[in-house]
Amino acid sequence: MQLQQTLRKSYSFEGKGLHTGKVAKMVVGPAPVNTGVVFRRVDLGEEAYVKALAENVSNTARSTTIASGDAYVCTVEHILSALTGMGVDNAMIDIDNVEVPILDGSAKPYIDAIWKDGLEEQDAPRKYIELKEAVEVRNDEKGSIVRIEPAEEFSYEIKIDFNSRVLGVQTARWDAGTAYVEEVGVCRTFCFFHELEFLLKNNLVKGGDVDNAIVIVEHPVTKEQVENMSSIFNVPVLEVREDGYLSNLQLRFENECARHKLLDLIGDLRLCGGFLKAKVIAEKAGHGINTAAAKEIRLKK
């Protein structure tokens, strides 16, 4: 029997939010049995709680936002993924601003901090979320699908296809035989060069920098465009590598982008309220369809 688990102590993280650019300090700490994962906006008061549940999702544009009353928290998917991948049932997350820090663009900073201390077993069995029938959510316009089927053991499979000559079609999988902390949680977010230019011009990624995202150069760019990007981020002149990626980062895996989308999927589906004992199959998935699937599961509980 798997017992519930929480953290042995509290861990602090501080940094800019990817989309808002606002600096937040976040403390991830232990919580009692059956708490689940709860965020507390300490800048709004001691009672400004937002439970990490699908019915609290308020926005899925470029990240997942949850809200309750006047309190909301943006970009919750990476920390939720880390807690799920490491097997944390219960955690209280205090944050003093609107957005979770992006840190290195993956869940690695959480893993590095928490994993070395191990987890604290609690005196209650884990409550698994089991399905009686399959749940399927589609977006035919985008060609997206998330299907969640009853199963004895959990598994998550994802396929990404951005019609990209650089990325190609990539797949990734997480199950009991996959080391989340080494093979999924360390994989960073990504964007396309042309999208980044647009977002920067429209002031939509105020906390982005070349340390927290893989940049894919899908279309030809000029030397001046690359130099301008280097100037914006105040780094030495970048280059476009032969494989089509900007030279700001080295890939941790050939399919790191698919693995990051898997990381997001795990985090978004934690909004079901616990650990899924199910087979998850996703294609061209994003925060909108992920959280819609989580809501469907919540409705069927």
Residue-wise pLDDT tens digits, 191-247: 999 988 887 777 767 766 778 899 999 999 999 999 988 888 878 889 999 999 999
- C-alpha separations of 186 from 6, 149, 192, 290 in Å: 21, 27, 20, 20
Q: Tell me, what's the pLDDT at 208?
A: 67
- Asked whether the predicted pLDDT for residue 186 surpasses 80, the reply is yes
DSSP, residue by residue, the chain: -PEEEEESS-EEEEEE-TTT--EEEEEEE---TT--EEEEETTT-TT-EEE--GGGEEE-SSS-EEEETTEEEB--HHHHHHHHHHT--BEEEEESSSB---TTSSSHHHHHHHHTT-EEEEEEE--EEE-SS-EEEEETTTTEEEEEEE-SS-EEEEEEE-S-TTT-EEEEEEETTS-HHHHTTTPPPEEEHHHHHHHHHTT--TT--TTS-EEE--S---HHHHHHHHHHTT-SPP-B-TTSBBTT---SSTTHHHHHHHHHHHHHHGGGSSEEEEEEEEES--HHHHHHHHHHHHHH-
Beta bridge partners of 240: 246
Q: Tell me, what's the pLDDT at 210?
A: 74
Judge if pTM exceeds 0.85.
yes
**Among 93, 94, 124, 115, residue whose Cα is nearest residue 5:** 124
Which one of 1.25.40.340, 1.10.3720.10, 3.30.230.20, 3.40.640.10 gives the CATH number of domain 3-127?
Answer: 3.30.230.20
Q: What's the rounded mean pLDDT across residues 109-117?
A: 97
In the block, which residue shows the tokens 């906006």? 41
Across 193-214, b (16+ Cβ under 10 Å) vs e yields: beebeebbeeebbebbbbebbb
The span from the CA of 89 to the CA of 5, in Å, is: 5
Q: Tell me, what's the pLDDT at 147?
A: 98
Q: Tell me, what's the pLDDT at 219?
A: 94
Distance of CA 132 to the CA centre of its chain: 27
Of the listed ranges 1-5, 95-99, 156-160, 203-207, the least confidently predicted one is 203-207
The span from the CA of 277 to the CA of 128, in Å, is: 6
**Among 163, 143, 168, 190, residue whose Cα is nearest residue 284:** 143
- Asked whether the predicted pLDDT for residue 57 surpasses 80, the reply is yes
The span from the CA of 60 to the CA of 74, in Å, is: 9
Question: CB atoms < 10 A from the CB of 223, how many?
Answer: 10
Question: CB atoms < 10 A from the CB of 300, how many?
Answer: 11
Contact 106, 78 (CB under 8 A): yes
The residues annotated with a catalytic role in the active site are 287
Tens digit of pLDDT for each residue in 67-103?
999 999 999 999 999 999 999 999 999 999 999 999 9
Domain boundaries, the chain: 3-127
- C-alpha separations of 160 from 112, 167, 219, 243, 250 in Å: 27, 9, 19, 18, 20
